[in-house]
Structures are given as C-alpha cells and as structure tokens.
C-alpha cells in the first residue's frame, strides 16, 4: 500500500478524532464542541478527498482497482460522521463520546482500503491464499 | 460514596443505553460494511466463489439482525439478539477453523475467514462481548 498525502492527513484527522473522543469519554465528559468538531473535521476531510479524487480522475490519473468499490467506501465514510453524530446525540452521556470515537478509526481503516484500491495492492485475501501456493 | 455532581452523569443502566450504544455502533458498522461488500461480491463476481460470497451475504444478514435486535428494547428483541449472536459466534468459529485447516476451500476472503483476521479479529471478539453484555442485562421473567 502506498502512503500518499491523502492517507497520512486522513489518518491524522481520523486518529486525532478517535483519541480526542476517547479521552473526553474517559474523563466522563458529555459530547461537547471539541469532540463534535473533530467529527466535523473527519467529514470535511472526506469531502476534500472526494473533490481531490475527482480532480485526479479528471486530470487523467485513474485508480488501478474497481471504481465502484472506491466510491462505495467513500460514500460510507462520508455517512459515518453523520450517523455517529445522530446516534451520539440521541443519548447525551459520556458513552456518546465512545460512540463517536468509533467513527475516526473506522474511517482510517476505510482510507487504508481505498489507498489499496487506488494504487492496486490486493488486500488480506492475498495473505489467505498463501496456503494454496499461488 | 460520593454524590455525583451535575456535570458528570452516571451512566444509564439498560441493554440499549450507555455502553450498549457503543456495542450497537460497532455491530452497525459491521452490518453496513458486510452488506455492501457481500452485495458487490455477488453482483460482480458471484461466479468466482459462490460459496464464499453466499457466506458473506449470510454473515451480513446475521449482523443486520443482531444490530437491530440489540438496539430495540424488550425481552423479545433480547432473545432474538441472543440467537443471532450465537449464530454469529458459531459462524466465526466454524468458518474460521475451516479456513485455517483447509485454506484451499476458502480462497476468497469472507468476514469470518481465519477468525476475522482481516478485520483485526473483531468478528471473533464481537459475539463474545455481545453475549456477555446480553447476559449482564438479561431481564427477569
């Protein structure tokens, strides 16, 4: 998997959000402006990544893997902060911060998979296939 | 004993609140990702590995049922959650063991292959945590 600037920035934003939310939850804080803003930062990054990817495709750089898979991940990643926000706001306790902490790390995992699709590295399936020696 | 001040709130008790919401969130993430992945596998590559992709679809359905039943209050939903999570546990153990002992039979990854290694072993831990959670919040008849 190639580490490009998108993945590195996305990882910083995503993990930053997760760590902030976990710390806030451990301090028994209810969701506040800080934890909600980290979620907004994740969403903003996904929007920027969408625009950036469109620009790359329009300028002739195409992804190696399957576009539907890439955009499927992109769409799901864009929905996660929204869903996490609603799910957290329905019950405002410090547990809501733990719920929101799940968003950032999940987006990072999806970004890793998206980078694999973009640069064309097959995923864990390859590790599973060593048993058949191909 | 300390009196809780107004800013820190005592976590609510109940199957669908507090830490339960985190469990439901993680189940929800797995339900969505398993459903999307299985749908696309079946639509675009079904002929490659029908068994693996049908298992993916089955896993997705189990995760959906588990997520919904965990999120709904009431003893009936708790029972459905217990059943679906037991199926999930059996699934991850059987598929996990089968994929380890006979990798050739499972060349295409499902969410449960090698006990969910591709997903950080979360698929193996999730049903165990889920059953413990349901047991600790069982409702007396």
Residues ≥6 apart with Cβ < 8 Å to A115: A1, A2, A3, A4, A6, A7
Domain range for A79 is 5-122
Residue B97 lies in a domain: yes
The CA distance from A73 to B109, in Å, is 18
Residue B89 lies in a domain: yes
Residue B1 lies in a domain: no
Residue B14 lies in a domain: no
User: CB–CB of B8 and A94 under 8 A?
Assistant: yes
Record the tokens describing residue A58, joined without a space.
Answer: 């329009």
Residue A127 lies in a domain: no
Instruction: Count CB atoms within 10 A of the CB of residue B7.
Output: 8
- ipTM computed for the complex: 0.73
Residue B105 lies in a domain: yes
User: CB–CB of A102 and B9 under 8 A?
Assistant: no
Record the tokens describing residue B67, joined without a space.
Answer: 């997520």
Residue in B13, B17, B19, B25 to test binding to A, most A beta-carbons within 10 Å: B25
Name every chain B residue with its beta carbon within 8 A of the beta carbon of A80: 29
What pLDDT is attached to residue A124?
A: 46
pLDDT tens digits, A106-120: 999 999 989 988 888
Count: domains in chain B: 1
Count: domains in chain A: 1
Whether A129 contacts A14, CB under 8 Å: no
Residue A103 lies in a domain: yes
pLDDT tens digits, A2-28: 678 999 999 999 999 999 999 999 999
Question: Which member of B29, B32, B103 has the closest CB to residue A128?
Answer: B103
**Model pTM?**
0.80
């Amino acid at each position: 998997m190639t580490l490009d600037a998108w993945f590195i920035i996305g990882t910083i934003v995503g993990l930053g959000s997760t760590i902030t939310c976990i710390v806030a939850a451990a301090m028994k804080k209810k969701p506040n402006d800080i934890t909600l803003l980290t979620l907004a930062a994740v969403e903003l990054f996904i929007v920027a990544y969408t625009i950036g990817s469109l620009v790359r495709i329009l300028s002739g750089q195409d992804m190696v893997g399957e576009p539907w898979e890439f955009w499927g991940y992109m769409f799901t990643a864009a929905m996660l902060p929204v869903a996490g926000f609603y799910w957290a706001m329905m019950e405002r306790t410090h547990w809501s911060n733990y719920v929101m902490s799940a968003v950032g790390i999940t987006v990072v995992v999806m970004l890793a998979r998206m980078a694999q699709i973009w640069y064309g590295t097959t995923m864990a399936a390859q590790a599973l296939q060593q048993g058949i020696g191909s | 004993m300390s009196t809780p001040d107004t800013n820190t709130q005592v976590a609510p008790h109940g199957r669908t609140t507090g830490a339960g919401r985190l469990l439901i969130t993680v189940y929800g993430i797995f339900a969505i990702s398993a459903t999307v992945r299985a749908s696309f596998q079946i639509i675009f590559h079904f002929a490659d590995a029908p068994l693996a992709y049908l298992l993916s679809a089955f896993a997705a359905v189990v995760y959906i049922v588990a997520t919904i039943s965990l999120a709904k209050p009431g003893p009936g939903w708790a029972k459905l959650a217990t059943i679906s999570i037991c199926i999930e546990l059996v699934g991850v153990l059987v598929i996990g063991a089968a994929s380890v002992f006979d990798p050739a039979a499972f060349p295409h990854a499902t969410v449960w292959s090698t006990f969910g290694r591709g997903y950080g072993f979360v698929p193996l831990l999730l049903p165990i945590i889920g059953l413990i959670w349901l047991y600790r919040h069982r409702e007396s008849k």
